[in-house]
Amino acid sequence: MKNLFLCSYFTGVKDTFKDFMNNDTKGKKALFIPTANIDEETKFLVDEAKEVFKSLGMEVEDLEISKLDEKTIKNKIEKANYLYVGGGNTFYLLQELKRKNLIDFIKNRVNSGMVYIGESAGAIITSKDTEYSDLMDDVSIAKDLKEYSGLNLVDFYIVPHLNEFPFEESSKQIVEKYKDILNIIAINNSQAIIIKDDSKLQL
């Protein structure tokens, strides 16, 4: 049974996440992947997300996949009950996940019960393919990325930050371009998509 919590802005859905966890957060530990956040100007978002976990009594363990070897990363994910994948550049994140052969590994862990928490880029990569998000993120940053297949954990394509600064235009452009082609679900910074025991709910 899959359990996923997908959002644009983790801080904006703190109470929704608490409900998702049935108010049972104290003492839980989240493995925290900040890899997508490569822009110094948005590093504060990493701190904000960590603060959400800590305010709920959860422990956080950093897992910077671009700096660790494949074996170490897989050992940590294998033991994790909760995996948070943060926002930033979708394509850089995808490149690093593929570089460490983590796509199928993470997918299998989620299908085996590990809870997946995805914020922005971390939500986008749960789709079958991520190329649709190139209107929002710069593909050229991921120079070694050859193709755009994602985790394929969901049957829809999430568009985060709908009508939110600075993504007002790019979010609308993605929706307009793909609304008749893909199963698009667009959310703002106060909304989340929850998949609990394989059932989908948008809040």
State which H helix or E strand residue 5 sits in. Answer: strand 3-7
C-alpha–C-alpha distance, residues 38 and 92, integer Å: 8
The SS3 call for residue 179 is coil
CA 20 to chain centre: 16
| Active-site residue, from 8, 127, 161, 171 | 161
| Lookup: tokens for 68 | 């660790």
Q: How far apart are CA 147 and CA 20, in angstroms?
A: 33
Whether 140 is a known active-site residue: answer no
Q: Which of 120, 127, 133, 171 is catalytic?
A: 120
Task: Please tell me the distance from the alpha carbon of residue 85 to that of residue 104, in angstroms, as a whole number.
Answer: 15
Q: Which of helix, strand or coil describes residue 145?
A: coil
120 catalytic? Reply is: yes
Burial class (CB in 10 A: 0-12, 13-18, 19+), 1: exposed
CA–chain centroid gap for 162, Å, is 16
* Sequence-ordered list of residues with C-beta below 8 angstroms from that of 152, at least 6 positions apart, any chain: 107, 126, 127, 128
Q: Residue 55, Cβ neighbours under 10 Å: how many?
A: 12
Q: Which residues are catalytic?
A: 120, 161
